Amino acid sequence: MSDSLLNVEQFFCERDDRVLFRDVSFSLAAGEILQVVGHNGCGKTTLLRSLSGLSSYAVGDIFWRGKPYTDVMPDYRREVLFHGHLAAVKHLLSPRENLRWFVDIFCAGEGDIESALCEVGLRGYEDVPCGNLSAGQLRRVALARLLLSPAVLWVLDEPFTAIDVHGISMLQGMLQRHLAGGGAILLTSHQQIDIADVRSLNLELYK
Across 65-71, average pLDDT: 96
Antiparallel, parallel or unpaired: β 80-83 and 67-68: unpaired
Across 32-37, average pLDDT: 97
Find the CATH number of the domain harbouring 75: 3.40.50.300
Amino acid, res. 179: L
When pLDDT is cut at 50, 70 and 90, the band that residue 77 belongs to is very high
In whole angstroms, give the CA distance from residue 81 to residue 15: 25
Number of domain units in the chain: 1
Tell me what pLDDT residue 109 has: 55
Tell me what pLDDT residue 111 has: 65
Per-residue pLDDT tens over the stretch 118-177 = 999 999 999 999 999 999 999 999 999 999 999 999 999 999 999 999 999 999 999 999
Q: In terms of Cα–Cα distance, which of 105, 109, 191 is closest to 156?
A: 191
37 phi and psi, to 5 degrees?
A: -125, 165
In whole angstroms, give the CA distance from residue 82 to residue 124: 27
In whole angstroms, give the CA distance from residue 169 to residue 160: 10
Any domain includes 92 = yes
Across 61-73, average pLDDT: 96
Any domain includes 1 = no
Across 57-68, average pLDDT: 95
pTM for this entry: 0.93
In whole angstroms, give the CA distance from residue 2 to residue 141: 35
| Intra-chain end-to-end CA distance of the chain, in Å | 25
140 phi and psi, to 5 degrees?
A: -65, -35
Residue 85 has pLDDT above 90, yes or no: no
Per cent of the chain over pLDDT 70 is 97
Any domain includes 122 = yes
Antiparallel, parallel or unpaired: β 58-64 and 153-157: unpaired
Task: Tell me what the pLDDT averaged over the chain comes to.
Answer: 93
How far are the Cα atoms of 7, 85, 120, 130, 154 from residue 164, in angstroms, in the given order? 34, 15, 12, 18, 21
Residue 25 has pLDDT above 60, yes or no: yes
Q: Specify which residues 199 forms β-bridges with.
A: 34
Question: Helix, strand or coil for residue 34?
Answer: strand
Range of the domain at 41: 6-205
Q: Which H helix or E strand runs over 76? A: helix 73-79
Query: DSSP secondary-structure letter at 72?
Result: G
Any domain includes 187 = yes
Tell me what pLDDT residue 108 has: 54
When pLDDT is cut at 50, 70 and 90, the band that residue 1 belongs to is very low
Tell me what pLDDT residue 56 has: 86
If one counts every other C-beta atom within 10 angstroms of the C-beta of residue 97, the result is: 17
